[in-house]
Chains A and B, each alone.
Chain A
Amino acid sequence: MISNKIDTVLFELREGLIIAWQAIRANKVRSFLTMLGIIIGISSVVLMTTAIKGIDASFQKGISALGTDVLYIDKWAWFTNEEWWKMRNRRKITMDDYHKFAEMAQLPLATAPVTNAARKVRYGDNVIENVILNGSSSDYVKTTNFTFDEGRFYNEIESKGSRYVAVVGSEVAKKLFTHGSGLDKYIKIGGVEFRVCGILTEQGSFILGSFNPDNQVFIPIGTIFKHFLNEEWGTITINVRAKNPSMIADTKAEAEGIMRKVRGLKFHQEDDFSVNQQEGLMSNYNTVVGVIQIAGLFITGLSLFVGAIGIMNIMFVSVKERTKEIGVRKAIGAKKRTILSQFLLESSVICLLGGLVGLLIAVIASLLLDKFFPTSIQISAVIIAMSVALITGIIAGLAPAYTAAKLDPVEALRYE
């Protein structure tokens, strides 16, 4: 005989599990159909969190490559509620503005004018359409955290002389130079021949939207104006890098002051330029991801909810169907608690099995998704998924199990 209370609980749990397992096995098809809801629910919850984590990780990687201590003086404000037409009417930022600004600014580590276009790049038979073509000065590299697989950024002489030299991103290099090194090879950008003087290290290929930092080419800004863009029409961006992250606020304040002076603004006039920061991009991104996360959790939560209702439904049917069995069990001494735990265990086991299968599907699916963006299933997601499955099982089983437990044995035995 069992005397200890814990032993009794363990004993009942073990016997209950055996009984539950027998009931599940006896109705294989129905158990599987019941599980299906939970399988779908759990796999979508796990996939969703994994996907969001994956996107987030690659975005963080990409953004840190751009540098968080860089300011971008632009005609447009990147993240703002201001009306776009107001900004459209602003004067463009010219190379002249840049030269004046660079001369006056004391705080920045480096400054560089940037403008860009999209062009076709060709090497031999290999062609890439719509590569982002950036024109900038040799100082541009100092405003980034670029590292090089091969070669270097173009130097001051090449930049000022508007030479035909190009620095290519890792993906561009990979696609163009299928055999051997691309360094010092001649490529054609929009039909104009350039010599490759540097190849960038891969920065991470996935970022929100279509912008891919590895799919870029950099050439001297003078050269881009000569062949691809009209200096009179276009506006440029001035990249300003602070000496360190703690100097960003001061550098920004100085930049705003100098720009007002350069642009000849009176004290009552509004800024006709914007000093942008990655921080804006970050916070904007965080809002987007937040919305995706909430929407995703809501939708996947809904599918779990539907799955739970399915289980509750089946458990009710199962209780009804086994009324006589419950009556017999009660007649030979099953207590209310025993019947309650029998049905709770049954729905929990169904949900846990469903959760396990769902997890397996999520793992396989994430391996497939990994081809598109980096994913990895966190151990926390596994734990959360299984706990959610278990809790779903208990909640869905509660009402049916209670119905079974409080059945009157006399009535139950009479049931046919």
Chain B
Amino acid sequence: MNIINIEHIAKVYQVGDVEVHALQDVSLRIDQNEYVAIMGPSGSGKSTLMNMLGCLDTPSYGKYEFKDKNVSLMSDNELAGIRNKEIGFVFQTFNLLPRSDALHNVELPLIYAGIDKQERKERARQALINVGLEDRIHHKPNELSGGQRQRVAIARALVSNPAIILADEPTGNLDSKTGEEIMLLCHEIHKKGNTIILVTHEEDIAKHAARIVRLKDGRIEKDELVPNRYIPSVKNSTINFG
């Protein structure tokens, strides 16, 4: 099933008197349970595309359909609703609320979805267990390691059962071993049927995906399947992914 359908979108920023074309004529389709990496050097427009895919921003031109709904015409509040229910964000800097414990951080999307306390707590707890943090539920971010923080963020992204997981350089702030663990977790999540979009500039990380979309100067340079895809070995894993 088609989840994302982008047709000829462009994003133009006005910087002083100059128009900056961050994206030009980009078309992209992403189906359910795909594992796509978006690659490109800095300034290639991958952040802009990610913001667009994540419904944080709307295109200046073109059409963006998310699950057959035209996102480009939606109001801020409708976009917030889509982000809340359909998109799970994983950021490079984790972006957890520093003063809240892991459980509350994971609970947050469910609060905004208006789900009552009991159900919310249960789902958040289960999401934390799924990423292997059952003994860190009441720890605050500063009491957790980088890898653990990213796993809390992944639990937060998964808790509302979104249509896509949007991971922006998820291993960028982690050492390679921890990064590998996170990528294994992504792999497991993908295997369970989720759609993952990975934004990265690292070839090694991108190779975890089944398909790579390469951007350059605001245009899609190449869109190809990965011939020698890297499948992380479960043996290396310390995670008991349920």
User: Which residues of A come within 8 Å of B, CB atoms?
Assistant: 1-2, 8, 11-12, 15, 22-23, 26, 324-325, 327-338, 409-410, 413
The interface size bin for chain B is 20 to 34
Question: Could you tell me the distance in whole angstroms from the C-beta of B137 to the nearest C-beta in chain A?
Answer: 17
Q: What separation, in Å, do the CA atoms of A401 and B198 have in the docked complex?
A: 34
User: Are A328 and B99 in touch, CB under 8 angstroms?
Assistant: no
For the A-B complex with A11-B116, A333-B112 known, give 8 more contacts whose Cβ atoms are closer than 8 Å: A22-B100, A324-B95, A328-B96, A329-B112, A330-B56, A333-B80, A333-B84, A410-B57
Task: Tell me, yes or no, whether B97 is within 8 Å of chain A by CB.
Answer: yes
Q: List 7 A-B contacts (CB under 8 A).
A: A22-B100, A330-B56, A330-B83, A331-B56, A331-B83, A334-B80, A336-B80
User: Are A332 and B114 in touch, CB under 8 angstroms?
Assistant: no
* Nearest neighbor of B112 in chain A, beta-carbon distance: A333
Task: Tell me, yes or no, whether B115 is within 8 Å of chain A by CB.
Answer: yes
Question: Could you tell me the distance in whole angstroms from the C-beta of B19 to the nearest C-beta in chain A?
Answer: 18
Q: What separation, in Å, do the CA atoms of A410 and B22 have in the docked complex?
A: 14
User: Are B77 and A336 in touch, CB under 8 angstroms?
Assistant: yes
User: Are A2 and B114 in touch, CB under 8 angstroms?
Assistant: yes
Question: Could you tell me the distance in whole angstroms from the C-beta of B87 to the nearest C-beta in chain A?
Answer: 8
User: Are B109 and A332 in touch, CB under 8 angstroms?
Assistant: yes
* Nearest neighbor of B84 in chain A, beta-carbon distance: A333
User: Are A333 and B51 in touch, CB under 8 angstroms?
Assistant: no
Beyond A1-B115, A22-B100, A413-B95, whether A335 also contacts B54 by CB under 8 A is no
Task: Tell me, yes or no, whether B111 is within 8 Å of chain A by CB.
Answer: yes
Task: Tell me, yes or no, whether B193 is within 8 Å of chain A by CB.
Answer: no
Q: What separation, in Å, do the CA atoms of A35 and B84 have in the docked complex?
A: 35
Q: What separation, in Å, do the CA atoms of A329 and B114 have in the docked complex?
A: 14
CB neighbours of A327 from chain B (8 A): 95
Task: Tell me, yes or no, whether B113 is within 8 Å of chain A by CB.
Answer: yes
User: Are B84 and A332 in touch, CB under 8 angstroms?
Assistant: yes
Question: Could you tell me the distance in whole angstroms from the C-beta of A107 to the nearest C-beta in chain B?
Answer: 80
* In the complex, per-residue mask of B106-132: 1 if CB is within 8 Å of any chain A CB, else 0: 001101111110000000000000000
User: Are B99 and A332 in touch, CB under 8 angstroms?
Assistant: no
User: Which residues of B come within 8 Å of A, CB atoms?
Assistant: 51, 54, 56-57, 76-77, 80-81, 83-85, 89, 91, 95-97, 99-100, 108-109, 111-116, 156, 160
CB neighbours of A324 from chain B (8 A): 95
CB neighbours of A328 from chain B (8 A): 95-97
Q: What separation, in Å, do the CA atoms of A331 and B53 have in the docked complex?
A: 12
User: Are B56 and A26 in touch, CB under 8 angstroms?
Assistant: no
Q: What separation, in Å, do the CA atoms of A334 and B116 have in the docked complex?
A: 16
| A11, A22, A331, A409: the one within 8 Å of B114 (CB) | A11
Q: What separation, in Å, do the CA atoms of A325 and B56 have in the docked complex?
A: 15
CB neighbours of B99 from chain A (8 A): 22-23, 26
Question: Could you tell me the distance in whole angstroms from the C-beta of A329 to the nearest C-beta in chain B?
Answer: 7
User: Are A333 and B81 in touch, CB under 8 angstroms?
Assistant: yes
| B83, B100, B116: the one within 8 Å of A332 (CB) | B83
Q: What separation, in Å, do the CA atoms of A379 and B101 have in the docked complex?
A: 42
* Nearest neighbor of A414 in chain B, beta-carbon distance: B47
Q: Would you list the 8 A-B pairs with minimal beta carbon distance, nearest first? A: A333-B84, A333-B112, A335-B80, A328-B95, A332-B109, A26-B99, A2-B114, A409-B56
Q: What separation, in Å, do the CA atoms of A2 and B112 have in the docked complex?
A: 12
| B56, B76, B97: the one within 8 Å of A413 (CB) | B56
* Nearest neighbor of B95 in chain A, beta-carbon distance: A328
User: Are A331 and B77 in touch, CB under 8 angstroms?
Assistant: no
User: Are A15 and B111 in touch, CB under 8 angstroms?
Assistant: yes
CB neighbours of A15 from chain B (8 A): 111
Q: What separation, in Å, do the CA atoms of A12 and B112 have in the docked complex?
A: 8
CB neighbours of A334 from chain B (8 A): 80, 112
* Nearest neighbor of A325 in chain B, beta-carbon distance: B97
Beyond A1-B115, A2-B114, A410-B57, whether A331 also contacts B89 by CB under 8 A is yes
Question: Could you tell me the distance in whole angstroms from the C-beta of B12 to the nearest C-beta in chain A?
Answer: 15
Q: What separation, in Å, do the CA atoms of A324 and B156 have in the docked complex?
A: 17
| B83, B95, B100: the one within 8 Å of A333 (CB) | B83
* Nearest neighbor of A330 in chain B, beta-carbon distance: B80
User: Are A333 and B97 in touch, CB under 8 angstroms?
Assistant: no
Q: What separation, in Å, do the CA atoms of A331 and B83 have in the docked complex?
A: 6
* Nearest neighbor of B120 in chain A, beta-carbon distance: A15
Question: Could you tell me the distance in whole angstroms from the C-beta of A17 to the nearest C-beta in chain B?
Answer: 12
Q: What separation, in Å, do the CA atoms of A331 and B166 have in the docked complex?
A: 11
Question: Could you tell me the distance in whole angstroms from the C-beta of A204 to the nearest C-beta in chain B?
Answer: 57
| A8, A23, A331: the one within 8 Å of B54 (CB) | A331
Question: Could you tell me the distance in whole angstroms from the C-beta of A414 to the nearest C-beta in chain B?
Answer: 9
Q: What separation, in Å, do the CA atoms of A1 and B85 have in the docked complex?
A: 13
Beyond A333-B113, A336-B76, whether A410 also contacts B56 by CB under 8 A is yes
Q: What separation, in Å, do the CA atoms of A332 and B81 have in the docked complex?
A: 9
* Nearest neighbor of B159 in chain A, beta-carbon distance: A332
